[in-house]
Amino acid sequence: MKYDYLLVGAGLFNATFAALARKAGLRCLVIEKRDHIAGNIHTENVEGINIHKYGAHIFHTDDENCWNFVNQFATFNRYTNSPVALIDGKLFNLPFNMNTFHAIWPDVITPLQAQQRIAEQAAEMAGKTPSNLEEQAISLVGRDIYELLIKGYTEKQWGRPCSALAPDIIKRLPLRFTYDNNYFNDRFQGIPMGGYTAMVEKMFGDTDIRLSCDFLADKENLSNLAEKIVYTGTIDSYFNYCFGELEYRSLRFKTEKLDGQNIQGVAVVNHTSADTPYTRTIEHKHFEAENTTAFNTPYSFVTEEYPADWQRGDEPYYPVNNPRNSELYRKYADLAAQETNVIFGGRLGMYRYFDMDDTIIAAIQCFQQQVNK
Ligand code: UDP
C-alpha cells in the first residue's frame, strides 16, 4: 500500500495529525470534499483582507504544548477578542464583566456591588438545581443580563427556547468581576498572521492532498489506498445514518464589501435582540489590524452570521447537545470502536463542541496512541 494513513478531511484535526506523521516519516494522503483545505477555519484573501469564510475563529488556549505546537506553523499576532453586544441601540461589553454590570446597573461600581446585585437577582433560583439553560443563566448572572444579553442570542443560535436547552453551553462564557473585556481566560491568544489557511498549508507541508474528492462516494476504492483511515466527517454519515441522523446546527453568511475604512470599530459585534435575524457581524480586517496595508484600505468586508437548521447537504457546524443526540452518538461510537482501522476525529467525527485547541490536543493524543500501539 502506498500510504500509511488516509486522512479524510483537510481540517485542523488532520492537519495536526499530518504534521506529526510527516515528522515521524509516515506517509499520508489527504482527501477533502471541498475545493480548499483548512475546513471551517479556512480564510480567503480577498482584496488584501483575510476573510474568515466560515465564521470568526480566534485561537486561544491554556495549554502550553498546544501553543508551542501551532507556533511552529504561524506567527500569531496579539489580537485579543473583546466583542461588544448591541441591543436596542445600546452597546455592552462582553464577556460579562464590571464594564457590563456598570452599563446595565449604573449604580453598580464595585465588584462587591455587582456580586450583591447578581445574588439578589439569582435568588429566584434559590435551592433549585438548574435543569435548563434559562435556569442556569439566571442563577449565574441574574434575570436582567439573561433577558438583555443571553435569551435572544441563544434562542437564535440554537433555534429553540432557552428552557429547552441543556444548561452547559452558557458556561462557555466567562463571568468576571474585574474591568476586563478580554473574552477568553486562556493564557495564550491570537490570530495567525496571514490567515489560517496559510497556517494549515504549512501543517500539511508536502503531504499529498486531493481536493473536491468525496470519500463516501468512493469509500471502498479510497480505503484501499492506506493501512488506516482517520475520518473527520460526520460520524453518522460514515455509517450511512443506520441509527438515524444526529442533529447539527448550521450557519449561513452574508458578506458585503462596504465603503469605509473602519465600519464597526471592532471585529465582532453580537446582536442579542430576538428581532435581529443574525447573531453576529464580523469585520474581518480587525483580526489582523497590525497589517496596516489591509487595515487602511478605504473599504471593508463585513459578514452577517445567521444561524440555521441543518439538513443533509448543509455544512454542519455545531453538534447539538441533548439526551437524544448523546444516546445516538453513543451507538455510533460503539460501532466506530469495532472499526479497527478507522479512527474518528474532530468536531464532527467525535460529535463534540471542540474549540480549535481542543481539536489539536485531541489529534496529538490520537497520533501518540497510534505510534505507541
Ligand atoms: N451567548 C450569549 N450571548 C452572547 C454570546 C454568547 O448568550 O452575546 C451564549 C450562547 O448561548 C452561545 C454560548 O453563549 O451559544 C457560547 O458562545 P460562544 O461565543 O462561546 O460561541 P461560539 O463562538 O462557539 O459560537
Side chain identity, residue 316: P
**Long-range pairs of 287-291 with CB within 8 A, sequence gap ≥ 24:** 287/50, 287/52, 287/56, 287/58, 287/79, 287/191, 288/50, 288/77, 288/79, 288/191, 288/193, 288/194, 288/195, 289/79, 290/77, 290/78, 290/193, 291/193
- Alpha helices (runs of H) in the chain, residue ranges in sequence order: 12-23, 64-71, 98-104, 111-122, 133-141, 143-145, 151-158, 196-204, 219-223, 235-238, 292-295, 323-338, 346-349, 356-372
Judge whether 238 counts as a catalytic residue. Answer: no
pLDDT at 208: 98
* φ, ψ (nearest 5 deg) of residue 305: -110, 120
pLDDT, one tens digit per residue, over 331-373 is 999 999 999 999 999 999 999 999 999 999 999 999 999 988 7
pLDDT of residue 12: 98
- Among 148, 344, 65, 310, smallest CA distance to 229 is for 344
According to DSSP, the residues that pair with 344 across neighbouring strands are 231
Q: What is the DSSP string of 232-252?
A: -S-HHHHTTTTT-PPPEEEEE
Question: 175 Cβ partners below 8 Å, 6+ apart?
Answer: 95, 96, 97, 140, 141
Ligand 1 site, residue 272, Cβ cutoff 6 A: yes
The 10s digit of each residue's pLDDT in 288-306 is: 999 999 999 999 999 999 9
pLDDT tens across 106-125, in order?
999 999 999 999 999 999 99
pTM for the model stands at 0.96
The predicted structure's pLDDT at residue 158: 96
Q: Is 280 designated active site?
A: yes
- Which atom of ligand 1 is least distant from the CA of 85? 8
pLDDT in tens, 261-289: 999 999 999 999 999 999 999 999 999 99
| Interstrand relation of 342-344 and 226-231 (parallel, antiparallel or unpaired) | parallel
Query: Given the DSSP bridges, would you call strands 84-87 and 59-61 parallel, antiparallel or unpaired?
Result: unpaired
Rounded distance between C-alpha atoms, residue 39 and residue 364, angstroms:
18
Question: Is residue 172 pLDDT above 90, yes or no?
Answer: no
Partner residues linked to 231 by β-bridges: 8, 344
* CA torsion through residues 212, 158, 183, 326, sign: negative
117 is catalytic: no
Q: Is 197 left (phi over 0), alpha (psi -120 to 50) or beta?
A: alpha
How far apart are the CA of 153 and the centre of ligand 1, in A?
Answer: 8
10 lines ligand 1 (CB under 6 A): no
What are the tens digits of pLDDT across the range 116-166?
999 999 999 999 999 999 999 999 999 999 999 999 999 999 999 999 999
The share of the chain scoring above pLDDT 90, in percent, equals 96
- The pLDDT of residue 373: 79
- What's CA 71's distance to the chain center, in Å? 19
Say which of 22, 27, 249, 352 is annotated catalytic: 249
What's the full length of the chain, in residues? 373
Per-residue pLDDT at 307 exceeds 80: yes
Q: What pLDDT, on a 0 to 100 scale, did the predictor assign at position 272?
A: 98
Cell of 321: 447537545
Predicted confidence (pLDDT) at residue 1 exceeds the cutoff of 80: no
- pLDDT tens digits, one per residue of 205-215: 999 999 999 99
Residues 197-251 pLDDT 10s: 999 999 999 999 999 999 999 999 999 999 999 999 999 999 999 999 999 999 9
Atom of ligand 1 nearest to the CA of 154: 11
Ligand 1 contacts CB of residue 85 (under 6 A): yes
- In this model, does residue 79 exceed pLDDT 80? yes
181 and 170 Cβ atoms separated by less than 8 Å: no
Which ligand 1 atom sits closest to the C-alpha of 157? 15
Mean pLDDT of the chain: 97
Indicate if the pLDDT at residue 41 is higher than 90: yes
What is the structure's pLDDT at 176? 97
Q: Out of 92, 134, 140, 153, give the residue to mutate to test ligand 1, the one with the largest number of ligand atoms within 8 Å of its CB.
A: 153
* Parallel, antiparallel or unpaired: strands 84-87 and 268-271: parallel
Please classify residue 175 by burial: count the beta carbons closer than 10 Å to its beta carbon, then call 0-12 exposed, 13-18 middle and 19+ buried: middle
Q: Is the CB of 169 under 6 A from ligand 1?
A: yes
Residue 171 predicted with pLDDT over 90: no
**Nearest residue to 31 via CA among 187, 174, 203, 207:** 207
The DSSP-derived string for 256-320 is: EEEESS-SSSSSEEEE--TTSS-SEEEEGGGGGTT-HHHHT-SEEEEEEEEEEE--TTSPP-EE-
